[in-house]
Amino acid sequence: MKVFVSKRIPQEGINMLKEAGLEVFIPEHENLSHEEWLIHCQNNDAILSVGAEFKYDKDFFDQCPDIKTIALYSVGFDHVDIMEANRRNIPIGNTPDVLSKATSDVAFLLMQSVARRASYNFQKVKDGNWGDFDPLHALGQELYGKTLGILGLGRIGFEMAKKSRAAFDMKIIYHNRHRNEEAEQELNAAYVSFEELIAQSDVLSIHASFTPEQKDLFNGSVFEKMKSDAIFINTARGGFQNEKDLYEALTEKKIWGAGLDVTNPEPMSKESPLLELSNVCVLPHIGSATIEARTGMAKIAAENIIAFFKGEKIPYCANPEVYSGKN
């Protein structure tokens, strides 16, 4: 069985695949064109898929009818047409859990960075503009006792809430498809409607998985209803925010600041007006970029593929409804 690993990943995952007797193909150069990528997909039985630049949509499945499984090197699977994979009975693996701490660390980092204007102040130092002590210039805000609103209180949201509560005694409110009883008991998190979430949060942090219906969920009319000193944090997917509206909300002081690890599109253009604002911090989608998380992701992705080829149930499956462990 041949596995196409679409970009280099930590060696532990590759070793696992080879030790399981699978033939591993890793392209020599990494910036594949769509055509090159498609040819590799057609020449292999499984894909260990790194990055989200190419979509797994109906066209893809039509053009690669022999692909048996796709193990994503990500927890998010918004670049896969899951209905289409279901129709063809193709299991899609993903990598939850191992990146929850790392990704929530980035949300926590952005929250503090925006609250204390860290990137603005760092830029001043780099520009040779340290400045004199000024009791009124570029003041931040403290987070102690404030309300953290979480959209999507799953594994990553839980970690963000836990840290924020421990560090700043923040009150946790959340909005989700389902109630999270563990968070309600352990973190005293309160379930609220979406309208209450946006109106009551001092910091609003997105940790939900993204679907096309949620595109531009955070638009002008939502920013309008948020507190004028609210901080907006997104480490989930850039599609949640309308960036033009976010820019207006920030410049018109409808909200206080924004910290983004995800943008729409990615990469963000260096011409984006958001980058000119002193109350914005943008990172280049580094949520899972730690040695520990990326190694864990490599191992899980390999585990998913190995399980499939052994005819076992995939341990981390984004569409478990279609697949019960027969290949």
Query: Is 75 one of the binding residues for ligand DGY (CB under 6 A)?
Result: yes
CB of 262 to ligand DGY, least distance (A): 7
Strands 203-206 and 147-151: parallel
CB of 271 to ligand DGY, least distance (A): 24
From the candidates 40, 207, 237, 294, give the one annotated as an active-site residue.
Answer: 237
Query: Is 172 one of the binding residues for ligand DGY (CB under 6 A)?
Result: no
Active site (annotated) includes residue 29: no
| Contact between residue 91 and residue 150 where contact means Cβ atoms under 8 Å apart | no
How far is residue 155's CA from residue 98's CA, in Å, rounded to a whole number? 10
| Contact between residue 315 and residue 307 where contact means Cβ atoms under 8 Å apart | yes
Q: Which is nearer to ligand DGY, 57 or 181 (CB)?
A: 57
Q: Which is nearer to ligand DGY, 126 or 177 (CB)?
A: 177
Query: Is 154 one of the binding residues for ligand DGY (CB under 6 A)?
Result: no
Q: How many residues bind ligand DGY (CB under 6 A)?
A: 7
From the candidates 30, 36, 182, 266, give the one annotated as an active-site residue.
Answer: 266
How far is residue 127's CA from residue 75's CA, in Å, rounded to a whole number? 38
Q: Which is nearer to ligand DGY, 103 or 147 (CB)?
A: 103
Query: Is 214 one of the binding residues for ligand DGY (CB under 6 A)?
Result: no
Residues 7-66, interacting with ligand DGY (CB under 6 A):
52
How far is residue 224's CA from residue 242's CA, in Å, rounded to a whole number? 13
CB of 91 to ligand DGY, least distance (A): 18
- Scanning 74-82, 132-140, 169-177, 271-279 for contacts with ligand DGY by CB under 6 A, the matching segment is 74-82
Residues 274-293, interacting with ligand DGY (CB under 6 A):
287-288
How far is residue 300's CA from residue 169's CA, in Å, rounded to a whole number? 34
Q: Which is nearer to ligand DGY, 235 or 279 (CB)?
A: 235
- What single-letter DSSP state applies at residue 317? B
| Contact between residue 215 and residue 193 where contact means Cβ atoms under 8 Å apart | no
From the candidates 155, 207, 285, 294, give the one annotated as an active-site residue.
Answer: 285
When binding is defined by CB under 6 A, the residue of 9, 64, 99, 268 that contacts ligand DGY is 99
Active site (annotated) includes residue 285: yes
Q: What are the backbone angles phi and psi of residue 36, rounded to the nearest 5°?
A: -60, -45
Q: How far is CA 93 from the centre of its chain?
A: 16
Strands 231-234 and 203-206: parallel
Q: By beta-carbon distance, which residue lies closest to ligand DGY?
A: 76
Q: Which is nearer to ligand DGY, 70 or 250 (CB)?
A: 70
Taking each continuous run of H as one helix and of E as one strand, the counts in the chain are: 12, 12
Q: What tokens appear for 45 in the block?
A: 């039985």
Q: Which is nearer to ligand DGY, 52 or 230 (CB)?
A: 52
DSSP strands (E only) in 6-81: 23-25, 46-49, 69-72
Active site (annotated) includes residue 237: yes
Calculate ∠ Cα 186-207-175, nearest 5°: 65
Residues 223-262, interacting with ligand DGY (CB under 6 A):
none
Query: Is 302 one of the binding residues for ligand DGY (CB under 6 A)?
Result: no
- Residue by residue, DSSP assigns 122-163 as HHHHHTT------TTTT-----TTPEEEEES-SHHHHHHHHH
Report the catalytic residues.
237, 266, 285
The contact set with ligand DGY (CB under 6 A) reads 52, 74-76, 99, 287-288
